[in-house]
Amino acid sequence: MEYIEYIFVVLVSFMGICFFINMITVEPNYGLLFKGIFVPSIPAGSEDDMISLIGCVIMPHNLYLHSSLVQTRKINRNNKKQVKETIIYFILESALTLFMSFVINLCVITTFAHYYDSSDDIKNNINLQTAGN
């Protein structure tokens, strides 16, 4: 199981790096980006967009998968020190995976927001088939 986890770490890291490079290429307004992270707001008329983003920004499947992986670990449950140490490592690992998910989603949303706010021709033609262009 460990080897599969390592493969996923490599794949997700590669994906995250690619999305980060993609975000940097569009040169977003970083001041507004950080302001939006720390002082969130919902512009008028964008409630539908906000609700549609909840599923990709909040990662319930990440927590579900992680809790399932945690239960497969072999630990000595009678050794309280080992259990406490294991819980700390699992909390750190879970926090790291959620942070990585946040960064990847931030890059994707920032990139698409850049093109969404650009000219009407691009805005009206952006979909899953033309997103790569």
Mean pLDDT for all residues in the chain: 79
Structure-model confidence comparison of residues 59 and 35, the more confident one: 35
Please state, in angstroms and rounded to a whole number, the distance separating the CA atoms of residues 105 and 117.
Answer: 18
Collect all residues with Cβ–Cβ distance below 8 Å to 59 and sequence separation of at least 6: 98, 101
Q: What is the pLDDT of residue 20?
A: 92
- C-alpha 133/C-alpha 123 separation (Å) is 12
Sign of CA dihedral 73, 67, 95, 86: negative
C-alpha 19, offset from chain centre: 10
What mean pLDDT comes out for the span 44-68?
69
Which residue would you say has higher pLDDT here, 2 or 91? 91
C-beta separation of 73 from 86 below 8 A: yes
Answering whether pTM is above 0.75, one says no
> pLDDT tens across 73-124, in order?
777 778 888 888 888 888 888 788 778 888 888 888 888 878 776 665 665 6
Q: Which of 46, 47, 57 is nearest to 110 (CA)?
A: 57
Residue 32 has pLDDT above 90, yes or no: no
In 3-state terms, what secondary structure has residue 78? Answer: coil
> Which pLDDT belongs to residue 126?
67
Residue 4 has a pLDDT of 84
Query: DSSP H helical segments within the chain, as ranges?
Result: 2-25, 30-38, 47-57, 60-71, 80-116, 120-125
- Which of residues 104 and 67 earns the better pLDDT score? 104
Amino acid of residue 108: V
For 59, the 3-state DSSP assignment is coil
pLDDT score recorded for residue 17: 93
Taking the domains of the chain in order of start, what are their residue ranges?
2-125
